[in-house]
A and B are shown apart, each in its own frame.
Chain A
């Protein structure tokens, strides 16, 4: 079995697992249909059973020569996981800090982390102080107008470091 087939089987197994998890969840949804013909657990069961079937078929495709009608994925053969870590860190840090740091600073940080990851992925030099300063400025330049549009123009409060609506 080739490596691709292994990975594809794993994807199929993943689909199968989602199906099983949905089926497990569907067990606890009541069936009372009232006048509606089908109860609230009808669609969950249809989905769960279909996904289990899809999972099985996908695994079978993977084991019998790989996915059918598949476009070879674009980009590099091998994944560059450090970039994944950087971009993920960007998003997760944003989720963790947005209420404390405020929208602008948190998004700027998110931008800086993501740029780091994407630069490294492209094999560019990253982490020089000048570069970092430029990134911080660019990130703030994108995030700040967005923030002001929301707080000042649209009247929707995004979290800020201060109560002023400017930062």
Chain B
């Protein structure tokens, strides 16, 4: 902890202890973070909480971390414990959908109330600098010739890069169950394997590889966004005739059984928070891409994503 943050924490402690909190009227938000402290959802949830306070729509935000099973444990607790609570929020995202499909928990996401999609990150596929292959087309050509010889390196099984790899295979007419996906335990290990040329092609969120791509240690051959990412000269898969678009998005859900008016209030609170300075700073610091989507459009988006994820995972033998 830097000294200034250290001091700030101490100051905040003193303030929290000394000030009577009931003095103002804004809501006390309870934020469920269905992951252990320190991860991506945790950062998102705490940043959103800070933004809610910064935008003065929430007075106090309390966080609860409940990690496990790609968020399914936290979801179960959220659905059971905060029924009808108009001030409860839960962080979630694409990974939770994957977790629900593979883990088959006893609760369903549709029991909770969709509020908003917040951010999104797209994947990039890279080749080792000294790879004989040069473009995505080369990768596809080799994939068609011998699926086993194309070693896809990335994060754990069911991660967005894994699903994207399976989708690419399906698009180019290769059996997705035949792809040779090497699931590494942590980001660093996958990075090492790509740098060392131990895998043919690597995939990850763009920000994780940005440094290596910029320094020429990896060659980016395709991003999974619909259009080129701002300021990044890497072709999309779609441009290259591979109809694959996949983002690792994060969003928030409200408690089950809240009224339409309560849902509207919550949505407005989140939208107000998106406009706060604290949120802008968090977006910048964490390299997130804004992807705000609310109301019925968000609900439909989740349903569609759920269906397409399930289809891909079933076809590639992940489920």
Contacts and interface: CB of A to CB of B under 8 A. Distances in A.
Interface of A: 34-35, 152-153, 155-157, 163
Contact of B16 (A34, A152, A157): A152
B9 interface: yes
Given A35-B180, A156-B37, A163-B62, 13 more contacts: A34-B180, A35-B148, A152-B13, A152-B16, A152-B17, A153-B9, A153-B13, A155-B63, A156-B65, A157-B62, A157-B63, A157-B64, A157-B65
Interface of B: 9, 13, 16-17, 37, 62-65, 148, 180
Closest 7 CB pairs of A and B: A35-B180, A157-B64, A152-B13, A35-B148, A157-B62, A156-B37, A157-B63
Nearest to A164: B21
Nearest to A34: B180
Nearest to B151: A35
Contacts of A155: 63
B279 to A, nearest CB: 19
A152 B62 CA distance: 11
B159 to A, nearest CB: 16
Contacts of A157: 62-65
A114 to B, nearest CB: 27
16 contacts: A34-B180, A35-B148, A35-B180, A152-B13, A152-B16, A152-B17, A153-B9, A153-B13, A155-B63, A156-B37, A156-B65, A157-B62, A157-B63, A157-B64, A157-B65, A163-B62
Contacts of A152: 13, 16-17
A155 B43 CA distance: 13
A116 B17 CA distance: 35
A155 B37 CA distance: 10
A35 B148 CA distance: 8
A151 B148 CA distance: 51
Contacts of A153: 9, 13
Contacts of A34: 180
Contacts of B37: 156
B21 to A, nearest CB: 9
A163 B65 CA distance: 16
A156 B65 CA distance: 8
A157 B62 CA distance: 8
Contacts of B62: 157, 163
Nearest to B148: A35
A153 B16 CA distance: 11
Contacts of B17: 152
B85 to A, nearest CB: 13
A124 to B, nearest CB: 39
A157 B64 CA distance: 6
A31 to B, nearest CB: 14
Nearest to A157: B64
